[in-house]
Amino acid sequence: MTNDTRSSARQTLWRGLKFYAVGGVGIGVQLAALVVFRSVAHLDYRAATVLAVEIAVIHNFIWHENVTWADREALRSSHWLTRFIKFNVTNGLFSIVGNLVLMQVLVGSLSMNYLVANILTIALCSVANFLVSDRFVFQG
């Protein structure tokens, strides 16, 4: 293995750790929003899930832009907006669709607690979200 390959592997590992740290906080944001929308506002679990996921997506984008992929700076302010749109369309849409489908199965069909089901759906969507972010949204 060459030094460049090792360096690239270390950088990907480090970036992955930052991604999952931000995502971990994002899970808290998403779960808190889900509780508010479901238990306080009494929204249907599907509508509450969509809103909670979108709030977490916005939260995560801000942190990924400034921490996870800070070394891949936006060249101009419109580039930041392009990244935000790409992140929202890829990670956001994938997370919302993935969450809705899996929540329907886990909560609607299997009667699992909505918070436990949401944690499982987040875990299942996270690997794909990292790969799409690294190779498409924040491409170097």
Domain residue extents for the chain: 3-137
pLDDT tens for residues 15-27? 999 999 999 999 8
Its pTM surpasses 0.85 = no
Written as one letter, the residue type at 121 is T
Q: Which of 36, 57, 59, 55 is nearest to 114 (CA)?
A: 36
Residue 74's pLDDT is 67
In this prediction, residue 9 carries a pLDDT of 85
- DSSP 3-state assignment of 44? coil
pLDDT of residue 125: 84
Give 43-88 pLDDT, tens digit per residue: 998 899 889 989 999 999 999 999 999 888 766 667 888 899 999 9
CA atoms within 13 A on the CB side of 45: 19
Residues 6+ apart with CB under 8 A from 116: 106
User: What kind and span of H or E run contains 138?
Assistant: none
The percent helix, strand, coil of the chain (3-state, each to 5) is 85, 0, 15
